[in-house]
Amino acid sequence: MIKVSIIGTGNVAYHLAKEFEHSENVELIEIISRSTINNDKFLSNKQSTNLSFPKDADVYIIAVSDSAIEEVAQDLKTQNKLVVHTSGGTELHVLHHHDRKGAFYPLQTFSKLKKVNFSEIPICIEAENENDYKLLEALGLSISNNINRINSKQRKALHVAAVFVCNFVNHLYAIGQEICNQNKVDFKLLQPLILETANKILELSPIDAQTGPAKRNDTQTIAAHLNFLTNENQSLLYKTLTQSIIDYGKKL
Ligand SMILES: NC(=O)c1ccc[n+]([C@@H]2O[C@H](COP(=O)([O-])OP(=O)(O)OC[C@H]3O[C@@H](n4cnc5c(N)ncnc54)[C@H](OP(=O)(O)O)[C@@H]3O)[C@@H](O)[C@H]2O)c1
């Protein structure tokens, strides 16, 4: 049985805690946070606020905002225990107050209100020694079938790539919705296209899956679209992404 304590009650902390609650190989010892959990009896029973006297655990998972990890790690008083964070973009160095440190980065987008199938989520693990890696691997395998050993540079690269494929794409959905709303068409009409675009790259490389006026170098349609757009930010994004698609095409 691996004994785990989680620090934080945000999106990632909540989902990890719920998964560990149902895992046979993990005992969730404590959830340490400054705000209280009201809506979940199991989790609220585990809660404490005291980083200075944490209960004994094998692994302490700090799942707080990136900017708070270092401060929380400093306040967490443990000795010779493995302390990890869950951040894609944060150096291990922020855990420098602890002798044994690592990263336990679940590569998914989490919101408390949206259920996720954890068994498919890649968990990217980094540790400074082999024993700690094995411990994190066992912990990861208790909730997911997709465990990956990565180093700090690879974790950062994945995080940057994730911003492109998740956060930026979602922002483009928001712009698409705005354009639909302004022209009184239902954004839902685009849902099958959105799903097919995402599904396509399970079979084709993104380069091969690319379609549209930029890929065809259809300058007439591109000019008509730019003429249609009245919002400066939308025009700028359209031009930048169109040029990027054209440039990628030239590299092939
Ligand atoms: N969300 C994702 O999709 C995702 C995916 C992979 C990895 N991550 C990583 O997971 C970590 C947590 O992200 P999240 O999305 O779960 O964050 P979140 O939902 O915004 O929650 C942040 C948590 O940090 C706590 N916190 C913030 N500042 C604090 C401070 N100064 N002292 C103590 N606690 C503090 C908050 O406490 P209060 O509620 O009291 O403010 C809250 O429990 C981050 O490192 C993030 O990069 C996130």
Poorest-pLDDT segment among 1-5, 113-117, 152-156? 113-117
Residue nearest (by alpha carbon) to ligand 1 atom 35: 64
Is 125 a pocket residue for ligand 1 (Cβ < 6 Å)? no
Cβ contacts of 22 within 8 Å, gap of 6 or more: none
pLDDT digits (tens, 9 = 90+) for 182-235: 999 999 999 999 999 999 999 999 999 999 999 999 999 999 999 999 999 999
Is 111 a pocket residue for ligand 1 (Cβ < 6 Å)? no
Is 68 a pocket residue for ligand 1 (Cβ < 6 Å)? yes
Residue nearest (by alpha carbon) to ligand 1 atom 9: 87
Average pLDDT over residues 245-249: 90
pLDDT digits (tens, 9 = 90+) for 165-179: 999 999 999 999 999
Which residue, among 59, 58, 60, 33, has the nearest Cα to 46 in the 3D structure? Answer: 33
Q: Which atom of ligand 1 is closest in space to residue 108's alpha carbon?
A: 5
The span from the CA of 219 to the CA of 210, in Å, is: 17
pLDDT at 92 over 80: yes
Question: How far, in Å, from the CA of 147 to the mean position of ligand 1?
Answer: 22
The span from the CA of 82 to the CA of 4, in Å, is: 10
What pLDDT is stored for residue 43 in this prediction?
81
**Ligand 1 pocket mutation, candidates 64, 109, 118, criterion most atoms within 8 A of CB:** 64
pLDDT digits (tens, 9 = 90+) for 96-151: 999 999 999 999 999 988 999 999 999 999 999 999 999 999 999 999 999 999 99
Coil, strand or helix at 209 = helix
